[in-house]
A and B are shown apart, each in its own frame.
Chain A
Amino acid sequence: MKYALFLGCKIPYYIEQYDSSTRALFDLFDMDWVDIKFNCCGYPIRNLNFESYILSAARNMALAERKQVDILTPCKCCYGSFKHAQFYLQNYKELKDKVNEILKKENLMWNNHSKVKHILTVLHDEIGIQRLRTKIKNRLKTLKVAVHYGCHALRPSHITHFDNPLNPSIFEHLIEITEAPLINWSKKLECCGHPIWGKNDKLSLDLMQKKIDDAIQAGADVLCTACSYCQIQFDDIQIQQLSPAQTQLDTVLVTQLLGLSMGIEEMQLGIHKNKTNAKKIYDYVN
C-alpha cells in the first residue's frame, strides 16, 4: 500500500496526535508513506474566493500526480474539498485549462490521475475488516462509543462517494472490531458546528451542545471522530467554552481508539494530548 498522507492545516499544530497515531496505525499494515510538501486543501478559503480554493486543491492533487501516488487524508473537510474540486475540474474544461496554466509554472499538471481517499475508506475497503481484526490485542467491551461521521465526507453524496449519506455504516464496522458497543443516536449525521466557529459562535456552540446532549442521552461514554475540525470542535472548543462542570463528552480520534485496541504505545497515540479526558478509555481495556 502506498499513499501520500495529506494532513491539512490543523493537524501539525493543533492535533499532532492525529498525525502520529495515523502513522502508527498504518505502520502495522505495512503502509509506504510518500512524503509530499502539500499546501492547504482550499477548504478555509472556499467561503471567500472560488479560484483560490480550486487552485489550492488542484495543486495538491497535481503534486501527488507527479509522484504517481494517491492521497489519503484523515480530515473530512479536506476530503470533501478535494472531491468538490475534482468535480468542478472534471466538468468544466475551461476551469481545468486555467488551473493547469497556473500550475504549469511549477511543471505541475492536474489530470485527475490521483485518487483522494479518506482514512476510514482506506481502513475499511483496502485493509479490510478481516485484516484489521487480526491485529486486535485489547478489547473495549464496555466502552460505549458514539461515532461522529462529519458532513463533508458524507454529502453531497454524488460528489463525495463516501458512503450511504442517509445511513452510513463504515465507521461502525471499524469500531465494532474493538468489540466496543456502539450507541445509536439521532444526531449522528448532524454538523459539529465548527464551520461557523469564529463567525457565529453562539450558533456553533448551540449545535455542538445539542449533539453532546443527544449522545449522552443515548448513553455514550466517548465520542469518536475522524475529522480534524470535528475533533477540534468537540475537544478544544468544548473545553475552552464550556466550564469543566459542563464538559460532558470526552472525545477520541478513530486512530487512537483503533490504535489502543491494537496495542500501539501511548507515545504514538497521544491520547493524553486530547484536551478532554480521553485517557479514561484506558480504564475500559480488558
Chain B
Amino acid sequence: MIFTISLYLSLGICILGLLYRLVSWFTLNTQLRGTHYGWVDRIKDASKAVIGSIFSVKCVNIIKTFIIEVVLQLHIIKNDPFRWIAHICIFLGFTLLLFMHAMEDIVSTALFSGYYSTVNPYLCLRNIFGLMTIVGIIMVVGRRYIQKKPLLKTNSRDTFAIVLLAIIFISGFLLEAVKIFSEPVFDQMVNDYGDPSATEDVEALKAYWATEFHVVFSDFNTSNISNEILETGKDVHIGSCADCHSKPTWAFISFPISKALSPAAPLLNKIRMDTWLWYIHFLACFIGLAYLPFSKFLHIVTAPLSLLIRSVADPKPENTANSETRRAIELDACTHCGTCSLNCSVAPVYQILNIPEILPSEKLSATKAIIKNQHDTEIINPDFQIASYVCTSCYRCTQVCSSGINLQDMWLTTKRSLHEKGIKDPYTVCRTTLVQKPDEKHLIPIDYHKVYRRIQDRFAYQYFHLTLRPETFTYCIQCQTCTNACPVMASAANNPNELLVSPQQIMNLMRMRLLHIAIRSPLVWDCLTCYKCQECCPQRIPITDIFYELKQLSVDLTFFDKANTNRLG
C-alpha cells in the first residue's frame, strides 16, 4: 500500500517536474535582459533544427556522440581518468540495477523467462552491479571530501545526491543480508509456497535451510541435526524451493554482511529488520525519483541532450532562438563535477581574491540563480560582476565540460548583457567614479593612513610602495621626455577638447604627495602600458609601473575593501 502510493506519488512529482523543466527550456530568458525570443519561435526553430539534424549527414555525429560520449563517456578520460572510472562504475551499476532489479517486473521478467531475483546469475549480478556503484560512490567521496582540491567546490546539493545514493545502495545490501537469515521471511515463504501444516517437512526444511542457506531460527539448534533430517529437508527443498533459490553465498557482498550480523539475527528477526530496511530502501529510491527533476540527478536527461546538441551545433553560435533554448537546457545540464573549475585559466585569481564566482562551476550556479530571479539587477552582486570580467574567455572550460555545455557562449552572453545593463567591468567603474565624475559626491576618499595600513596587510605591500615611496619618483627632473614619448598624449594633442595631465605632471603630483589627485588623471586610466615613457626616462623612473599601481590601488579600494559600502561605484 505504502509502496504503491509512494511510487505513484513520486512518479507523478517526477513527471510534473520534468514537464516544468521542459517548459522552462523554451520560455526561460537566458539573456539577462529584456528582449529575448518567445516560446513559439523557440519551439519552431528547435523542431526545425532537430529534424534538420536527424535527416542529414549530421545524424552520423549524433550516433557517434551517443556511443562515445553518452554511453562510454570517453571524453571524460582525457581530463580525469579517476573521475571516469568513478562515474562509469556508478553509471553502469546504477543503470543495470535500475532495469534488472528496480524495474524487474517490466524488464527482466519480460526478457528472461527464468527470471527470479533470488537465482543465479541475477543474484550474483545484482551484487556485482551494487559493488560497482558502491566503489564509484567511495571514489566520489574520496575525490570530494578526502582529497579536497582547493578549486573543487562541493555544495549541499552534491552532498545530498551522494548521501541519497549511498543510502539506497547500503540499505539494499543490508536488506539482502538481513533477508538471508530472516526467520519471518522463511515462514512467510513456507506459507505462500508450501504446506505449513506438514510439520515434519517444515522442520526438515528448516534444518536444511539453517545449515545450507544460513537462516537463523530462534528455536532451532543446528548442532544436533541428523543426516536423515537433512536428507528429508533436501528433498523438500528440491521439490518446493530449489527452482527459485541459489545459494546465498553467491550474493558475495550481502552474504559476508549477513554472517557478520548473524549474532544479532534473533533480535533483528524479531523486530522485522527486513521490513524496515525495505521501507528505507524503496522510500530512498522514490525520494530520488521525485527529487530527480530538481536535483543534479537531472543530468541523466540533460547531459546526454547537451552532448548531442553540441555534436551538431555551431561552436561559435550567433544569438538565435536556438542558442537561447540551448543555454536554458545547459543551465540544467551542469552536474557540478568541477572539471571546469579545476581547469580554469583564471583560477589563481580566485586563490587571491577568494571570490567563488570566478570559478566557472560556481559562476554557472550564480548565473542560473540570476536568470531564475528574472534578472533582478539587485541580485547581481559585485562579486558576480568582478568574476564575469575577470574571465578571459579562454574557452578552456567549454573544451573540458563533461556535459558538453557551451560555457564560452554563456559567459560572452552574460558579459554582453551586464554591459548593456550598465554593470561595467571594475576598470571602467573605477575610471568612471574617479575621472568622469570628479565631484565630491563620487570621490573615493583616499586616506593615506588607511592606505598604508591596508598595504601593510597585503603580501604585495612592497610594490604598492612604488607609489608611496618617495625615492621612486623624487628624482624626476621634469624633462618631459615621457610626455613626448607617450602615444596617448600625442593622440590627445590633436583634440583640443581633451586636455590631459601629462605623465611628467603626474610624477610631479606624486612628488607633492597628491596621490589622490594623481589617481584621478585620465592618463592613468588611458595608459596603454606600452612602456615608452619608462624606456625613455633618463632618470629610470618606473612611470608605467606607477600607473599600474595607481589602478590596482583604486580597484582595491573600490571593490576589494569589504568595508567600502560603495562597491558598485
B31 at the A/B interface (Cβ < 8 Å)? Answer: no
15 of the cross-chain contacts (CB-CB < 8 Å) are A10-B394, A47-B427, A49-B555, A50-B549, A51-B458, A52-B348, A55-B351, A56-B349, A59-B348, A94-B462, A151-B528, A155-B532, A156-B535, A165-B535, A203-B491
Q: How many residues of B contact A (CB 8 A)?
A: 52
B488 at the A/B interface (Cβ < 8 Å)? Answer: yes
Partner of B551, one of A47, A54, A102: A47
Complex alpha-carbon distance, A29 and B426, angstroms = 44
The answer to whether B525 and A199 have CB atoms under 8 Å apart is yes
Complex alpha-carbon distance, A94 and B390, angstroms = 26
B interface residues (Cβ-Cβ under 8 A, vs A): 150, 343-349, 351-353, 390, 392-396, 399, 408, 425-428, 431, 458-460, 462-464, 487-488, 491, 525-532, 534-535, 542, 544, 548-549, 551-552, 555-556, 560
Which residue of the partner chain A has the closest CB to B498?
A: A203
Partner of A88, one of B426, B463, B487: B463
Complex alpha-carbon distance, A50 and B461, angstroms = 10
Complex alpha-carbon distance, A19 and B153, angstroms = 32
The answer to whether A195 and B428 have CB atoms under 8 Å apart is no
B402–chain A nearest beta-carbon distance, Å: 16
DSSP majority for the B interface? helix
The answer to whether A52 and B526 have CB atoms under 8 Å apart is no
Specify which chain A residues have a CB less than 8 angstroms from the CB of B542 in the assembled complex. 156
A45 at the A/B interface (Cβ < 8 Å)? Answer: yes
Specify which chain A residues have a CB less than 8 angstroms from the CB of B551 in the assembled complex. 47-48
With A155-B535, A193-B528 in contact, do A49 and B556 touch (Cβ < 8 Å)? yes
The answer to whether A95 and B459 have CB atoms under 8 Å apart is yes
Binds B, one of A36-44, A64-72, A238-246: A36-44
Q: Which of A186-234 contact B (CB under 8 A)?
A: 190-191, 193, 195-196, 198-200, 203, 206-207, 210
A204–chain B nearest beta-carbon distance, Å: 9
Partner of B460, one of A9, A54, A206: A54
Specify which chain B residues have a CB less than 8 angstroms from the CB of A198 in the assembled complex. 425
Most A CB contacts (10 A, CB to CB) among B393, B399, B535 go to B535
Q: How many residues of A contact B (CB 8 A)?
A: 50
A46 at the A/B interface (Cβ < 8 Å)? Answer: yes
Complex alpha-carbon distance, A210 and B548, angstroms = 25
A interface residues (Cβ-Cβ under 8 A, vs B): 8-10, 12-14, 37-40, 42, 44-52, 54-56, 59, 88, 92, 94-95, 98, 102, 105, 151-152, 154-157, 165, 190-191, 193, 195-196, 198-200, 203, 206-207, 210
Specify which chain A residues have a CB less than 8 angstroms from the CB of B399 in the assembled complex. 12
Which residue of the partner chain A has the closest CB to B548?
A: A46
Complex alpha-carbon distance, A193 and B526, angstroms = 10
Complex alpha-carbon distance, A56 and B386, angstroms = 17
Specify which chain B residues have a CB less than 8 angstroms from the CB of A98 in the assembled complex. 459
Partner of B345, one of A39, A55, A193: A39
With A12-B394, A190-B530 in contact, do A52 and B459 touch (Cβ < 8 Å)? no
The answer to whether B529 and A151 have CB atoms under 8 Å apart is yes
Most A CB contacts (10 A, CB to CB) among B428, B532, B556 go to B532
Partner of A206, one of B459, B491, B552: B491
**Extra inter-chain contacts (17) besides given A12-B399, A39-B347, A196-B527, CB under 8 Å:** A40-B346, A44-B392, A46-B548, A49-B352, A50-B464, A52-B348, A55-B351, A59-B348, A151-B531, A151-B532, A152-B531, A154-B531, A165-B535, A198-B425, A199-B526, A203-B488, A207-B491
Complex alpha-carbon distance, A45 and B346, angstroms = 9
Complex alpha-carbon distance, A261 and B346, angstroms = 37
The answer to whether A13 and B526 have CB atoms under 8 Å apart is no
Partner of B534, one of A14, A88, A155: A155
Which residue of the partner chain B has the closest CB to A101?
A: B459
The answer to whether A203 and B394 have CB atoms under 8 Å apart is no
Complex alpha-carbon distance, A200 and B534, angstroms = 22
Complex alpha-carbon distance, A155 and B425, angstroms = 27
Which residue of the partner chain A has the closest CB to B461?
A: A94
Most B CB contacts (10 A, CB to CB) among A37, A59, A157 go to A37
With A48-B555, A52-B352 in contact, do A199 and B431 touch (Cβ < 8 Å)? yes
Partner of A50, one of B487, B488, B552: B552
Specify which chain A residues have a CB less than 8 angstroms from the CB of B528 in the assembled complex. 151, 191, 193, 195-196, 207
The answer to whether A12 and B459 have CB atoms under 8 Å apart is no
The answer to whether A196 and B348 have CB atoms under 8 Å apart is no
The answer to whether A45 and B344 have CB atoms under 8 Å apart is no
User: What are the 7 A-B residue pairs with the smallest beta carbon separation, nearest first?
Assistant: A9-B394, A155-B531, A13-B395, A9-B392, A191-B530, A151-B530, A40-B345
Specify which chain A residues have a CB less than 8 angstroms from the CB of B395 in the assembled complex. 12-13
Specify which chain B residues have a CB less than 8 angstroms from the CB of A152 in the assembled complex. 529-531
Complex alpha-carbon distance, A49 and B558, angstroms = 12
With A13-B393, A155-B530, A207-B491 in contact, do A51 and B346 touch (Cβ < 8 Å)? no
Which residue of the partner chain A has the closest CB to B554?
A: A48
Specify which chain B residues have a CB less than 8 angstroms from the CB of A190 in the assembled complex. 487, 530
Specify which chain B residues have a CB less than 8 angstroms from the CB of A94 in the assembled complex. 459, 462
A164–chain B nearest beta-carbon distance, Å: 11
With A12-B394, A48-B427 in contact, do A195 and B345 touch (Cβ < 8 Å)? no
